[in-house]
Amino acid sequence: MDLWFSEYHSENVRFSIRVDKQLYSAQSEFQRIDVFSSPEFGRFLILDGYMMFTEKDEFIYHEMITHVPMAVHPRVEKVLLIGAGDGGAARELTRYDTIQHIDLVEIDPQVVAVCREFFPEITKSLDDPRLHIHHEDGLRYIRRVKDEYDLIIVDSTDPFGPGEGLFTKEFYGNCFKALKEDGIMVNQHESAFYEGDATAVRRAHKRIIQSFSLCLAYQAHIPTYPSGHWLFGFSTKKYHPLRDFDGVKWKSLGIKTRYYNTQLHLGAFALPNYVEEILKDVERK
Amino acid sequence: MDYSAQERAPIKEALENLKNMRVVPFDVPGHKRGKGNGELTQFLGARCMETDVNSMKPLDNLSHPVSVIREAEELAAHAFGAGHAFFLVNGTTSAVQNMILFACHPGDKIILSRNVHKSVINALVLSGAIPVYFQQPVHEKLHISLSLPLQELEKTILDHPEAKAVFVTSPSYYGICSNLQRIGELTHRHGMLLLVDEAHGAHLYFGQGLPCPAMAAGADLAAVSMHKSGGSLTQSSFLLSSARVDAEALRQTINLTQSTSASYLLLASLDISRKNLALHGQEIFAHVLHLADYAREEINKLDGYYAYGKELIDEKTIFDFDATKLAVATMDTGLSGMEVYDLLRDEYDIQVEFGDVSNILAYISVGDRQRELERLVGALAEIERRFRRPQNTLYVKPLPVTPLRKSPKEAYYGKKISLPLSLAIGRVCGELIMCYPPGIPILAPGEEITAAAVEYIENALDIGCNVIGTHDVDIENLQVLENS
């Protein structure tokens, strides 16, 4: 048997993973959810045909979307996670004792249920007493909140489908309002390599800088995402991701990571020229 | 007629049969099923071009229907609970014109509110009917017309017993409905026809828990914009008549102005949309109601906005409210509806139906999903946060009363001169002038230009209303009757 999962990374490029078997498939109220197992990447979650994460490389994404802001902001106590129903970002955050409260807003309860069943290692911290899960639209949740969070992490899917509202100006503006005066927002900033994804980078970047005066992008290498080169947005009201970065303090916490380290933190903000150009181009307009 | 007949769409079926017959076209249209105009075919799609055909025996003829169009008319009449349903391809504007042309001979009187859409005034110019206006009160805070005042109407009817018809707009753009049943009893008791502009009410015939539609309330004629809430193509519309009306006489009136090359795209869209609403209207509009109610609830949690609903209903001023409409008063943000309308589009890529001085209207339909509503609500929250002003400096006054001196037709065709606004005071107006939206004339042909009307126009220009209608595009001069 020759069974493969394929995702189009562009109209002319296809990325395939050999599949051992399909473990789950269902249509939730919001999207189609599939779980496969594979010899190379272990189990992986697909939403509406798009790769969300694999057991083998999810650590890269989840470490980078959490530890980078955590090593910059001096005292994160209250965090808002939007999307992130797989629990990966929550797993990283619950390793910090300073964090007292995490709100996780995931629109689709079925995603959480499926991840709990098939990815128990990733979802284990969803039961942490500091974590509070809310099943509603992120855009709806955030418009009621003001001046409340130290850190907001937007762990969204792509800018079409149920995650669409999380790439809009009104959403980023509402995030700005929901953050305290020295708050940080980190978001999934797409990839600048293929034209379709680069358009999403431009749109997201443009809309963020309309609300936040400073938004810098940083990168990670994620093998199962289109082009493998992925970006995150670091939007901040006060702290600069490099000038206010305290590597010594972060190291003293003794958090063991597989991808993130303090040297890599600095390097992650050093972007390739073509990416810098795309972002600068948006900022000039 | 058996309701299962509503599963049929005779015009659509005839078009499909025609396609299968592979008839060689040596008739118009000259694009010959799209082959003669490649770029247009690529743009609109081959299917669309194949459907753009002319009247012929298997497709019937709109001006004298005997087969498939007549069947489709009968199905539509049944679905709407009307005596007859006419397919119109020149917009609901033509439905309104036909109602007035049919009911009034030149010089006949027609009773109506002064707060009508400009298309009604234009119909008066065409027909030569003489309007008898009554004043329709306006909501003090929301600046929208209230339900038609029954006492005022009755008084007008008693003062003008020779009038031929009463013309009513219900629901309004904002969802305000009038007591059509009582109005019908009143008009019929005095031997007049009741004409209802129901442009914003096609869904009332199919949804549940919605205000009573005109035909059920006893209206004689109703103009129904199928392309608004009914889902058909722009410019397609129904004119409904009750069983009391001589339908073939009405058809002769319609044939005075209706195109003799009626578009089968529009006819098929009416046919298919009628079928869809007859079969699925209940669930469709239950969903629309749910979405609109949800949006109202969420918007009313925000500061500065008021999304009004059925709580407006009271015995005296508002008879009923169409809760599928989502109108939002913006004054408490310190912003006008026009400003919020522009901000939604320019800042947030959200297009709403319109903004007037104090409201915006978001059109909710079967095509909407909750996530789009979240964007609208989120954007409204952001607009309030970013742009709110401490005080509402807007200056809204009700439209001033302008006495009618000549019939609209006489004034329209009279000899006119152009005068600067200030010098036009006291003269008889020869043209329409209005803010758009809402499209209610400040002055109409035949009305005296009062000082209050000029002041209203100048103020509207000052606060940034879109003032239109005059011959002078800069709105500095008005056309007035020379001998006035």
pLDDT at A141 over 80: yes
Contacts of B375 in chain A (CB under 8 A): 139, 165, 168, 170
Residues A174 and A228 in one domain: yes
* Mean pLDDT, residues B316-327: 95
Query: Between chains, do B386 and A173 touch, taking CB under 8 Å as contact?
Result: yes
Mutation for testing the A interface, residue in B382, B383, B386, B388 having most A CBs under 10 Å:
B382
The region, left, alpha or beta by phi > 0 then psi within -120 to 50, assigned to residue A81 is beta
Contacts of A204 in chain B (CB under 8 A): none
Check CB contact of B294 with chain A, cutoff 8 Å: no
pLDDT at B393 over 70: no
* Mean pLDDT, residues B436-460: 92
- Here the CATH number for the domain that contains residue A36 is 2.30.140.10
Residues found in chain B: 484
The pLDDT score that the predictor gives to residue B391 is 67
The domain tally of chain A equals: 2
B408-481 domain in CATH 3.90.100.10? Answer: yes
Range of the domain at A95: 58-284
pTM given for the model: 0.86
pLDDT at B124 over 70: yes
Mutation for testing the B interface, residue in A170, A171, A212 having most B CBs under 10 Å:
A170
Residues A106 and A15 in one domain: no
- What the block records as the tokens of B400 is 């001033």
Residues A136 and A33 in one domain: no
* Mean pLDDT, residues A98-119: 96
Confirm whether B3-278 and B408-481 share one CATH topology. no
Mutation for testing the A interface, residue in B298, B369, B371 having most A CBs under 10 Å:
B371
Residues A154 and A43 in one domain: no
pLDDT at A161 over 80: no
Q: Does the active-site annotation cover A48?
A: no
B3-278, CATH topology level? Aspartate Aminotransferase; domain 2 (3.40.640)
Q: Domain spanning B281-387: which superfamily?
A: Aspartate Aminotransferase, domain 1 (3.90.1150.10)
Q: What ipTM did this prediction achieve?
A: 0.78
* Mean pLDDT, residues A204-222: 95
Residues A48 and A64 in one domain: no
* Mean pLDDT, residues A184-198: 94
Contacts of A139 in chain B (CB under 8 A): 371, 374-375, 377-378
For chain B, give the mean pLDDT. Answer: 94
CA dihedral B326, B360, B351, A32 (to 10 degrees): -30
Residues A130 and A118 in one domain: yes
Contacts of A170 in chain B (CB under 8 A): 348, 375, 378-379, 381-382
Distance CA B441, CA B469 (A): 9
B367-381 pLDDT per residue, tens: 888 889 999 999 999
Distance CA B317, CA A133 (A): 46
For Cα atoms B214, B220, B222, give the angle at the middle one, nearest 5 degrees. Answer: 50
Residues A35 and A149 in one domain: no
CB A86 within 8 A of CB A123: yes
Q: Which of A37, A54, A71 marks a domain boundary?
A: A54
For chain A, give the mean pLDDT. Answer: 95
Which one has a higher pLDDT value, B465 or B60?
Answer: B60
Residues A112 and A200 in one domain: yes
Query: Between chains, do B298 and A140 touch, taking CB under 8 Å as contact?
Result: yes
Query: Between chains, do B378 and A177 touch, taking CB under 8 Å as contact?
Result: no
Residues A49 and A148 in one domain: no
- Here the CATH number for the domain that contains residue A144 is 3.40.50.150
Residues A16 and A147 in one domain: no
Distance CA B4, CA A285 (A): 59
Q: Which residue of A has its CA nearest to B346?
A: A169
Rg over alpha carbons for chain A, rounded to the nearest Å, is: 18
Query: Between chains, do B374 and A139 touch, taking CB under 8 Å as contact?
Result: yes
Q: Bridge-partner residues for B355, per DSSP?
A: B360
A61-65, B180-184, B332-336, B390-394 — which is least confidently predicted? B390-394
CB B187 within 8 A of CB B194: yes
Distance CA B481, CA B237 (A): 36
A235-284 pLDDT per residue, tens: 999 999 999 999 999 999 999 999 999 999 999 999 999 999 999 999 98
Domain range summary for chain B, segments of one domain joined by +: 3-278, 281-387, 408-481
pLDDT at A225 over 60: yes
Residues A232 and A148 in one domain: yes
Check CB contact of A144 with chain B, cutoff 8 Å: yes
Query: Between chains, do B371 and A137 touch, taking CB under 8 Å as contact?
Result: yes
The pLDDT score that the predictor gives to residue B286 is 96
pLDDT at A192 over 70: yes
Contacts of A171 in chain B (CB under 8 A): 378
Residues A114 and A249 in one domain: yes
